[in-house]
Amino acid sequence: MSTQTQQYDYVIIGSGFGGSVSALRLAEKGYKVLVIEKGKWFKAHDFPETNWNLRKWMWLPSLGMQGLFKLTFYRHVAVLSGVGVGGGSLVYANTLPVPKSEFFNSGHWNGLDNWEEKLQPYYATAKHMLGAERHPYMSKSDKVMQQLAANIGRPEAFDKTDVAVYFGKPGVTVKDPYFDGKGPDRTGCNLCGGCMLGCRFDAKNTLDKNYLHLAQQLGVEIISEKEVYDVVPLSADGSAGYEIHFKDSLSYFPKKGKVTAKGVIFSGGVLGTVNLLLKLKQGSLPNLSDAVGGGIRTNSESLIGVTTFDKDTSFSEGIAIGSIINIDESRHIEPVKYSEGSGFWRIFMAPMVQGSNIVSRFFKMVKDFVVHPIDNLRAFFVDDWSKRTNILLYMESIDSTLRFSRNMFGGMKSSMESGPAPTAFNPKAQELAHEVARIINGKAMVMSSETLLGIPTTAHILGGACMGTSAQDGVIDKDNKVFNYANMMVCDGSMISANPGVNPSLSITAISEYAMSKIPLKKDNPAFG
């Protein structure tokens, strides 16, 4: 991109689920669109074979790591997120669940519309576009979940997941099976378990293979390795358009550029969008709602690794998440896997204990080592951690919220807003983990940050630009339009205004589809004439 200022109808900041939907649907309506992504543009062969290849897996450019996965720590939560063209779709576990009714009738958007009914057709569209398919196999981890459901007296609660994977014939490449040949060639899933490392075999339906691919055919431009740092309105309310400033994201001495657009859509995920909006509220966009940064939610997750002592057992075969147990209306548990050899997380593992403070948890951890030395050594020094570990992802839909604000270094900090603080010590999750340990003859371990610091880990950070009736109680309206600024929207996880209790990717896609349906054709839009 040259330094010469170029004019667009819409600039979309970020290329995840919301940004990709926006790009395609706006292009279909005749708008000239630019997508700006701070991460890299990956091809299948660019992804790492294992997560020990930190340079290709992790995003930490200052240390030469230019991968697709980012780990961010805050006072109340550690966040796992994706970076690159396709955003979170590159690293998520492919699952596409529709939340229960509670999601549609709670939180900041409660009462703004009949969301469960209104969004139903857009969920259907999202499933079609993302290639949702019921998982057709039963892996070892799925069989364990089926046994767990039976052991807790809920055999009917076990179910297969709907996933964004092309199964076809393993290893066989075919012409696009989804969009009448307009999409890229696809290859049948070989069940390697490496979904969250970036699919190296073109089987995972990431956004660059559907929404973004189709958008490019309609003229959408996508530039990667550029980070937006300022959005300047050309009139007080932005009705005259905006000047979008960006810089190189991978350079110690970044070059800068700018473009202008009549409209702007923030789609950088919570960590990107909320951080940028907080900065802009102190600068170029002072009339943003004071609600920016509020209503931050997680799915109240617990991540527990249960490592088997049986040397002949492998949990790597299959897709990242192939099944789920719906414990009740608000609680779920899923088995998660990595491919063979991807045992990076083992260096963070510690015995699963509970306690009200770091001192008590430390001594309980020491006690566990003393009482069960053999089991701990066997779990720590297992030959292939990812192959021998059944990772449990427990989620529940408790509607507690955090607030993100700016810190002195220009980043974000977290504070409690309402409800109970996120916790790493969920009794139900630990009960289920112990039961799985009995089923597979293993030991349950958790991240040391959870045991020592009490900080839970989430891959589903949501909110921060929630819906409301006005700028007094929300950042955006029910059509995702930013209050007080013209032709400005938020379409990503930061718009999610209640706790879904399940993977939010399908919901982000569906809500973005709905928001885009409210934008008229360019030829019928006087603001873009």
Q: Known catalytic residues? A: 460
CB 195 within 8 A of CB 5: no
Q: Is 88 left (phi over 0), alpha (psi -120 to 50) or beta?
A: alpha
Cα separations (Å) of 313 from 295, 435, 441? 42, 17, 10
CA 420, 421, 422, 426 dihedral sign is negative
List, in sequence order, the alpha helices (H) in 282-389.
358-371, 373-380, 385-388
Q: What CA dihedral angle connects 272, 278, 284 and 285, to 10 degrees?
A: 100
Per DSSP bridges, beta strands 69-73 and 78-82 are: antiparallel
User: Residues 50, 56, 57, CA angle at the centre, nearest 5°?
Assistant: 60
DSSP 8-state assignment for residue 135: -
Here the tokens at position 326 are 């719906």
Q: Please give the biggest Cα pair distance in the chain.
A: 74
Q: Measured in whole angstroms, how far is the alpha carbon of residue 180 from the centre of its chain?
A: 29
Task: Yes or no: say if 16 and 491 are a contact pair by the CB < 8 Å rule.
Answer: no
- The backbone torsions φ and ψ at residue 62, rounded to the nearest 5 degrees and listed phi first, read -60, -20
